[in-house]
């Protein structure tokens, strides 16, 4: 059934987005912890790593939001189908 497939796709997208967000957050925390031990400001590589991780975090947020929208549409389709049958 199409709506079940959409639900599975949406859930898989949410899970993938959450995993991506966790990785990005862990990378940001790792760089922050490593940089805090230094007496000097973080290196340019650290700044680039944090920037890339921040972008990845935003992309993960967008992925979760888009996948949640897919789930919402699938739910709406299923509701319409049930209303039509009943």
Sequence ranges of the domains in the chain: 2-85
Write out the DSSP string of 8-53.
Answer: HHHHHHHHHHHHHHHHHHHHHHHHHHHHHTSSSPPPHHHHHHHHHH
Identify the residue with better confidence: 83 or 56. 56
What was the pLDDT predicted at 51?
Answer: 92
Question: Would you say residue 82 has pLDDT above 90?
Answer: no
Question: Would you say residue 76 has pLDDT above 80?
Answer: yes
Query: Per-residue pLDDT averaged across 8-33, rounded?
Result: 94
């Amino acid at each position: 059934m199409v709506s079940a497939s959409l639900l599975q796709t949406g859930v898989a997208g949410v899970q993938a987005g959450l995993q991506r967000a966790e990785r990005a957050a862990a990378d940001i925390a790792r760089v922050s912890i490593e940089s805090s031990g230094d007496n000097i400001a973080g290196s340019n590589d650290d700044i680039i790593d944090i920037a890339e991780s921040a972008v990845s975090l935003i992309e993960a947020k967008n992925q979760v939001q888009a996948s949640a929208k897919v789930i919402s549409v699938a739910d709406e389709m299923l509701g319409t189908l049930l209303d039509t049958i009943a």
